[in-house]
Amino acid sequence: MELLFVLPKLRLNSLRWLIASFCGSLLITLGAMIHIPTLPVGTTLQTFVIFLLALTLSPREALGSVLFYLVWATLGLPVLCGRANSLWFMGISSGYLIAFPFAAYLISYLARKWNSTMGKIGAIACGQAVIYTLGFLFLIPFIGVKAAFIGGVAVFIPTAVLKALLAVCIKRS
């Protein structure tokens, strides 16, 4: 008899996860469409959207959003800055994209644990560190250590700070 009360709740939770993750993936796609071509890796609003999703969704939903997004990319849909690339995981931006699910989950988890404005900023900083680390490591074979650090990490720090602060401000309002 108890099973009858549990099943609808499981379905409702699964449906909520599916809807939240699907909608989150669409928002990440929109963030990717706002693209400023820079070398070696372009600047987008993907990380801003991931920060915002991680602050508003559960860790599972934030993770699901990014995984859906990467599935769309793998299926060849034009979600990567308006372009299709089924082999995205072999490209120059692959480290950043591979880091997105880890960062989304980590930010969401830590933001709930450190539930304050500074805690949320700290959570985003930890997630951004994951993105920069994998992005940097995957860039090295393409352009070398020095260029990977300068062009793949250092150049993005000012905009990352702005994105993090903006995401926290939007979440607070």
Q: What is the pLDDT of residues 44-71, one digit of tens each?
A: 899 999 999 999 999 999 999 999 999 9
* Calpha distance 151→143 (Å, rounded): 9
Q: How confident is the model at residue 8 (pLDDT cuts 50, 70, 90)?
A: low
Three-state SS for the chain is CHHHHHHHHHHHHHHHHHHHHHHHHHHHHHHHHCEECCCCCCEECHHHHHHHHHHHCCHHHHHHHHHHHHHHHHCCCCCECCECCCCHHHCCCHHHHHHHHHHHHHHHHHHHHCCCHHHHHHHHHHHHHHHHHHHHHHHHHHHCHHHHHHHHCHHHHHHHHHHHHHHHHHHHC
Backbone angles phi, psi at 36, to 5 degrees: -110, 115
Asked if the 2-172 domain carries CATH number 1.10.1760.20, the reply is yes
Q: Is the dihedral of CA 150, 152, 154, 155 positive or negative?
A: positive
What percent of the chain shows pLDDT beyond 70? 92
Residue 81 has pLDDT above 90, yes or no: no
HSE, side-chain direction, 13 A CA sphere, residue 70: 20
State pTM to two decimals.
0.89
For residues 81 and 124, which has the higher predicted lDDT (pLDDT)?
124
Per-residue model confidence (pLDDT) at position 37: 80
Query: Is the pLDDT higher at 82 or at 112?
Result: 112
**What are the pLDDT digits (tens) for 149-165?**
999 999 999 999 999 99
Q: pLDDT at position 146, please? A: 96
pLDDT at 3: 47
Q: How confident is the model at residue 14 (pLDDT cuts 50, 70, 90)?
A: confident
What is d(CA 48, CA 145) in angstroms, rounded to the nearest whole number?
Answer: 26
